Structure 1
Amino acid sequence: MTNLPHILNWRRINARLTTSGQPTEEQLAEIQTLGVTQVVNLGPHHNKGALEDEPGTVASLGMSYVYIPVEFESPTEQNFEDFKAAIEGNPSAKIHVHCIYNARVSAFFYRYAKSGAIISEDAAFANMESIWRPGDDWAAFIENPDAKGQQNRYAGEDY
């Protein structure tokens, strides 16, 4: 499977899972040519930069669309359960998971890896750290008490 590094914060988790920030309509078509059959979006449709009709674009490309709107300031346990269900629901599907910046997604994969799923915790942490260091809003969610009281920091900007 090819990589698409021109898509914002593109990352490959493994042969069946890729992640990124918000792809454009044209980039969704490129993602589909990689054999992706399902797109999971953790970015709320009201976020700046979200596509006007992402579900329609994804459907027109023959992929399924899973929408799990995670409010950045308050990720929930239900969001995480829905994420796990989307990843585990069709184990043979090639899946692309995105949000607006790949911050939510990388934090979700880090927490998922902490349970022993898909990739090592160290690899998931390195992936997340290459994008951002979650702070206070995310400390409990990613089960990192050291982040409590810290600001969210972004690679290339704050460290």
Structure 2
Amino acid sequence: MTSCQSVAARWVLAMLLQAVVFASLSHAAALVAPNVVTISPALVTAGQPNAASLKALGSDGFRAVIYLAPMTVMDAVREEAEIVRAQGLEFINIPIDFGEPTEAEFARFTETMERLKGQKVLVHCQVNMRASTFTFLYRVLTLHESPELAYEAVAKVWSPRGPWRQLVGAQLKKAGIAFDFY
């Protein structure tokens, strides 16, 4: 192979790699919702997606949706469960009162995430505060990811306060993880 052919081959390889990376990120980019954060090709957190985005989740490779707000919140898509299930996706609602998140709700979230391992999942709430925080705890406590790395996704959305700060602190302390996220 001549040096010119070698340069051309490397350029083609670089373009193909760039296309693969773009394609894996473009699915989340097509999701119209507040504060969309792609954690990995198989995990995305967000605020409330619009109905059109919910209808496209199956074609974007998602296999499940976990909704962490009550179905009665003002901006909820009332027919979300039906839209998601009509695509053959699993829909799970863990209706967390924003002012009172509990350890039991986090345990249910963790059990659900473990059951869905290996599938592409959207975790959402209204603005990605519940979703980003529970996903952070799951990544740190169950997947044993670095708290510093996992917290970057939360920091893109907010800094937990009040009962959320207390819940995160208590869960980290219970697991013996020292991490100052404030």
TM-score, length-scaled by structure 2? 0.73
Q: How do residues 10-89 of structure 1 correspond to structure 2 at under 5 angstroms?
A: 10-89=36-115
Counterpart contact for 2:66–2:121, Cα < 8 Å: yes
Runs of 5+ unmatched residues, structure 2 = 1-23, 171-182
The superposition leaves residues 14-70 of structure 1 with CA deviations (integer Å, 9 ceiling, x where unpaired) of: 121111100111011232222101000001111110011211111112211011001
* Matched-pair contact (CA < 8 Å) for 1:111–1:143: no
CA distance in 1, matches of 2:59, 2:144: 23
Q: CA RMSD in A?
A: 1.7
Asked if 1:121 is matched to 2:147, the reply is yes
* Runs of 4 or more consecutive aligned structure 1 residues displaced over 3 Å after TM superposition: none
CA drift of 1:123 comes to: 2.2
Identity of aligned residues (%): 27
Contact 2:54–2:80 under 8 Å retained in 1: no
CA distance in 2, matches of 1:91, 1:115: 15
Tell me the number of residue pairs that the alignment of Structure 1 and Structure 2 aligns: 144
Structure 1 Cα separation of the partners of residues 121 and 161 of structure 2:
27
* Conservation of the 8 A alpha-carbon contact between 1:17 and 1:95: yes
Q: Per-residue CA shift, 1:81-127, capped at 9, x if unaligned?
A: 11111111032211111000000011112222332516431122111
- Relative to total residues, which structure has the larger helix share, 1 or 2? 2
Distance 1:78 1:36, change over 3 A: same
Larger radius of gyration: 2
Does structure 1 residue 109 correspond to structure 2 residue 135?
Answer: yes
8 Å CA contact retained: 1:110, 1:142 = no
Cα 1:13–1:118 change in 2 (3 A) is farther
In structure 1, distance between residues paired with 2:140 and 2:132: 12
**Unaligned runs of at least 5 residues, structure 1:** 145-159
- Return the TM-score normalized by structure 1: 0.83
